[in-house]
Amino acid sequence: MKALIQRVKNAKVTVNDEVISSIEQGACVLIGICSSDTIKDMEYIVRKLLSIRIFDDENHKRWQKSIVDKQFEILCVSQFTLYNTWKKMM
C-alpha cells in the first residue's frame, strides 16, 4: 500500500461535472492498493496519516501539528498508478 499526502486549502473530486466529494482545509491522499496488501497495511497507513505532523502550529512553526490536532478533513482518492512500473521503451 502506498499513500501520497498533499496539504490542501480545499479539494474536490468531480466526475462528469458532478462533485462526488469535497473538503475544506486538510489533506488530499492518493492511495494505491495492491492485491498483496493486508488489513495491517491499511491500519498502518491510517495511523500514519492521522499522526504525521505536516501542519504549522499557532506560532507558525513548521511541521508541528497533525490532521487530528488541527481537526482538518481528509479526502482519499484511489490511485492505482502509484504502483506503475516505468520501463524504457524504444
- Alpha-carbon gap, residue 25 to 31, rounded angstroms: 19
Residue with cell 490536532: 69
The pTM of the full predicted model, rounded to 2 decimals, is 0.84
What local confidence, expressed as pLDDT, does residue 6 receive? 97
Q: What is the CATH number of domain 2-80?
A: 3.50.80.10
Is 81 labeled as catalytic in the residue annotation?
yes
Residue pLDDT, tens place only, 46-88: 999 999 999 999 999 999 999 999 999 999 999 988 887 777 6
Is 55 labeled as catalytic in the residue annotation?
no
- Alpha-carbon gap, residue 74 to 27, rounded angstroms: 5
Is 38 labeled as catalytic in the residue annotation?
no
| Catalytic residue, candidates 6, 14, 71, 80 | 80
| Catalytic residue, candidates 25, 55, 79, 85 | 79
Question: Which sequence spans correspond to the domains of the chain?
Answer: 2-80
